Structure 1
Amino acid sequence: MRIAVIGGGPGGLYFSYLWKKRHPEAQVDLFEQNPAGATWGFGVVFSEQALEFLRADDPDTVDAITPRMESWTNITLNLRGESVEIDGVGFSSIGRLELLTILQTRAASVGVALRFDRQIASVDQLTGYDLIVAADGLNSLVRRSFESDFGASLSVSQNKFAWYGTTKRFATLSQTFVETGLGTFNAHHYRYSPDMSTFLVECDPATWAAYGFADKTVDESKAVCEQVFATALDGHALISNKSVWRNFPWIWNERWWSGNRVLIGDALHSAHFSIGSGTRLAIEDAIALAKALEAEADIPAALARYQSERQPIVKKLVTAARTSADWYEKFPEHMKLGLMEFAYSYITRSGRVDDIRLRAMAPRFMARYEASRPSSAGRSEA
């Protein structure tokens, strides 16, 4: 089988590696428009469950990645100079470039032809391939070229965000909420290496307009964010890497394949950064696609199987991500709550966590939360 993979992000690299490793006779060509050492953004996170899923399918790759990861078991929320930790929420993180480098090395080691600095301007360039895997991200050429075939839809969230890094090392995945004279901000921050952290700044449209960010340069915006989060940054600067203000794009496709073309990762669906599942979903898509191709005798049947088995799982996560994003669209209102009520609202925002689950996974937080309430009976578990 001849396979062309467009896009050298985690999903494209992992599918290429997985298929070539299991099928050495296959020809797998990966096309990436950027150089091998280029990327945007900073760190990416994996939940404990995501790593367990990957380990079950490919323990060798997990063993290659985990020594380079930072890990923690709590989430810290900072509001009005107070902090609260939510225990029992395990995550690990790694630099995006470091993850890509590991996956590039593994793909090359099994014979994948990695073609960097190769932009595919038209799908017509890929004649002669049995399968075209579109792992080319939010602005996918393949999806845009066949939008009606895929049933593609695109919308954006209202809030603005900019993705920075910093040399400030944070103990856990943290959220810092700040109110200023002109509006409200939130920062999602976590360490991803011994000396670097991701620092993603978010604000509502009214705040973005009040600060005049539309007319500010990248450096001017960065300076404002450093001032707003001076306490959290503790003297450290923010670092920019294409850190422009943007709205989160919601991508969904009703049909995941058309002809011999199939979508995975952000080309197929997007999940809000507040649940940290984008990289996980891309890699799990790659695993699901490989399994479907192995299970069926021909490509159309395999692609149909990929969608039918994987789509319900993804839809559940994307629904949770949308619910989480809705909470963030109203975070200035949530900030008016007391610290413990705010934390409870935050941790239950996606609808996947109720009191019973919270008592099991975060007993220290729940004990503090329930002690803070006027009635010791706590919330209904219904």
Structure 2
Amino acid sequence: MKIAVVGGGPAGLYLSILLKRQDPSHEIVVYERNAAGSTYGWGVTYWAGLLDKLRAGDPESAAAVADASVTWTDGLAIVRDERTVHRGDAGFGIGRRRMLGLLADRAGELGVEVVYEHPVDGPDAPELADANLVVAADGVHSALREAHPDHYGSAFATGGNPYIWLGTTKVFDSFSFAFKETAHGWIWCYAYGFSGERSTCVVECAPATWTGLGLDTMAEADCLALLEKLFHDLLDGHELIGRDRGAEPAQWLRFRTLTTRVWHRGRTVLLGDAAHTTHYSIGAGTTLALEDALALAEALRDRPGDPASLDAALAAYGRRRRAALVSAQSAARLSARWYENLPRYMALAPDRMFALLGQRHSPLLPYVPPQLYYRVDRAVGRLESLRRLKRWLGPRVARAVHRA
């Protein structure tokens, strides 16, 4: 097939790798509107389960991504001025620019053509005319999707809290949080390393705090200076890095959650953020986009190239991924709501607040008093530990009795 991939993000590049490995005779071109290496976003996170899937899809690119990643197991929270640490599962961070470079190199090795500084502004673009398959991997603002929004059933929900995506020269060895109370309310950040020199730092607050501190109109340089002062104990004197906007206001955003009802139209199929977004606080955006690519490649494996077979494959891919996304989208909604209701949890002792931060995906938590929820959760945890101990001891005691 002739395949045109519109968008050179992780999903588009990885899909091109998978499809070229499945059938080297595919002619695949990836069109990216930005220059090579010009991406913004600092680092991305993922978990060990994704690496297992990437190794099955393409061991070479998986090894390159793993080698370029940093890892952590602990979670650190600074609440007001008190530190608390929780142990957790291994997480990974990698620079977004680094990941894109590795995937582009691997795609080029396999014979994929990656064209930079080449925007494709709609489904009627001449570059797409003779393609058997068009992949819309052009992000949340997808021009290909928005040409037919009613068909795809695109819907957006905008979050209440403003946030800003920053970098820092502080290299974190744990996934770190800081919650600071100001005269205008709470402001908080989460930070994680993605290389030996840089980390990502996302700052969020309620609208009243944002305007009360003057962050809505403050020049970027002044904004960064204020945030460095607020989070001085987390940053240890290191600087925050923005977009170098100088006297212009810093680029605060409100997260837009995208859902779509249908994922393909004829020969065009949606991938990654062009099809869905999930709130950044669950750190799953890149993982879900790469899982989309794996699912689409699998749906297209060994399918004849005729339009009817292609339509069936694309429909099956959409059904499968929409079903798989239900739990992640629910977790993302609950996570965003937890932060939007942050004052509800801040009267707890820091270690208890941090424990409930880890429980923010629970659909019960918004409806149960936080102190009560914490006590019940701890009790259930102890009971489950006892159940596991009994399951472990049972066969051993039985064998000992039998031998006696």
Give the TM-score, by structure 2 length: 0.86
Equivalent residue for 1:260? Answer: 267
Match of 2:129 in 1: 127
| RMSD (Å) for aligned C-alpha atoms | 2.4
Please name the residue that 1:357 is paired with. Answer: none
Deviations 1:80-106 (A, max 9, x none): 222222212220101000000000100
1:329 aligns to 2:331 (yes or no):
no
Determine if the alignment matches structure 1 residue 315 to structure 2 residue 326: yes
Query: Which residue pairs with 1:140 in the alignment?
Result: 142
The gaps in structure 1 that reach 5 residues or longer are: 355-368
Equivalent residue, structure 1, for 2:251: 244
Residue 121 of structure 2 aligns to a residue whose secondary structure is coil
2-side partners of 1:222 and 1:167: how far apart?
13
Cα distance in 1 for residues equivalent to 2:295 and 2:289? 10
Alignment of 1:338-349 (within 5 A): 338-349=349-360
Amino acid at match of 2:33: Q
Q: Does 1:83 align with 2:83?
A: yes
Within a 5 Å distance, the mapping from 1:281-296 to structure 2 comes to 281-294=288-301, 296=303
Does residue 232 of structure 1 match 2:243?
no
Shift of 1:154: 0.8
For 2:322 and 2:154, how far apart are their aligned partners in 1? 14
Q: Secondary structure at the match of 1:178?
A: strand
Question: Can you give the 5+ residue segments of structure 2 that lack an aligned partner in the other structure?
Answer: 245-249, 366-370, 385-404
Partners of 1:376 and 1:39 in 2: how far apart? 43
Cα deviation 1:19-67 (Å, max 9, x = unaligned): 1122111111111000111101101011122222322333322211111
Shift in Å, 1:378: 6.3
Identity of aligned residues (%): 37
Q: Any idea what the Cα deviations from partners look like across 1:195-226, whole Å, max 9, x if unmatched?
A: 11101111111101112222222222222211
Distance 2:165 2:379 in 1: 41
Deviation per residue, 1:307-362 (Å, 9 max, x gap) = 122211112211111111111111133222211220221111112999xxxxxxxx
- The one-letter amino acid paired with 2:260 is N
The answer (yes or no) to whether the contact 1:3–1:28 under 8 Å persists in 2 is yes
2:18–2:57 Cα contact (<8 Å) kept: no
Q: Which moved more, 1:57-66 or 1:263-272?
A: 57-66
Aligned residue number for residue 393 of structure 2: none
Could you tell me which amino acid in structure 1 is paired with residue 301 of structure 2?
E
Question: 1: distance between equivalents of 2:379 and 2:70?
Answer: 38
User: Residues 207 and 375 from structure 1, CA distance in 2 versus in 1: closer, same or farther, beyond 3 angstroms?
Assistant: closer
Give the aligned residue type for 1:203.
Answer: C
Matched with 1:161 is: 163
- The 1:352/1:10 distance shift into structure 2, 3 A limit, reads farther
- Check the 8 A contact 2:163/2:205 in 1, yes or no: yes
Q: Name the aligned partner's letter for residue 25 of structure 2.
A: E
Q: Aligned partners of 1:193, 1:213: CA distance in 2, in Å?
A: 29
User: Match of 1:83, SS?
Assistant: strand
Is the Cα contact below 8 Å between 2:51 and 2:66 reproduced in 1?
A: no
Task: State which drifts further: 150-159 or 225-234.
Answer: 225-234
- Give the CA deviation at 1:377: 4.7
SS of equivalent to 2:124? helix
What's the TM-score once normalised by structure 1's chain length?
0.91
Question: 2:196 is matched with which residue?
Answer: 194
Q: Which residue of 2 aligns with 1:362?
A: none
Residue 118 of structure 1 aligns with an amino acid whose one-letter code is H
SS at 2:67 equivalent: helix
Which string of whole-angstrom CA distances, capped at 9 and with x for unpartnered residues, describes residues 171-210 of structure 1?
2011111111222111110111111110111111110111
What is the rounded CA distance, in whole Å, between the counterparts of 1:165 and 1:3 in structure 2? 36
* Secondary structure of 2:30's aligned partner: strand
Letter in 2 for 1:279: T
For residue 139 of structure 2, give the secondary structure of its aligned residue in structure 1. coil
Number of aligned positions between the proteins: 367
The residue identity in structure 1 corresponding to 2:112 is V
Please identify runs of 4+ aligned residues in structure 1 that moved more than 3 A.
Answer: 372-382
Task: Deviation per CA, 1:211-259: give whole Å up to 9, x if none.
Answer: 2222222222222211211221111110113761000110000101111
User: For residues 60 and 253 of structure 2, what CA distance do their matches in structure 1 show?
Assistant: 36
Q: Secondary structure at the match of 1:340?
A: helix
| 1:319 partner SS | helix
Which shifted more, 246-255 or 58-67?
A: 58-67
Q: 2:17: which partner in 1?
A: 17
1:282-307 deviation digits (Å, cap 9, x = unpaired): 11100100100115432101101101
Change (3 A) 1:266 1:348: same
Q: What residue identity is the alignment partner of 2:212?
A: A
> Shift in Å at residue 116 of structure 1?
0.3
Q: CA deviation at 1:376?
A: 8.5
How far did residue 379 of structure 1 move?
6.7
Task: Tell me: higher relative CO, structure 1 or 2? Use CA pairs within 8 A at least 6 residues apart.
Answer: 1
Counterpart selection for 1:223 from 216, 222, 225: 225
1:151 corresponding residue in structure 2: 153
Match of 1:365 in 2: none
Q: Deviations over 1:135-185 (max 9, x none)?
A: 111111111111001011011110111011111111201111111122211
Structure whose CA Rg is larger: 2
Query: Partner of 2:111: helix, strand, or coil?
Result: coil
CA contact (8 A) 1:41 1:241 kept: no
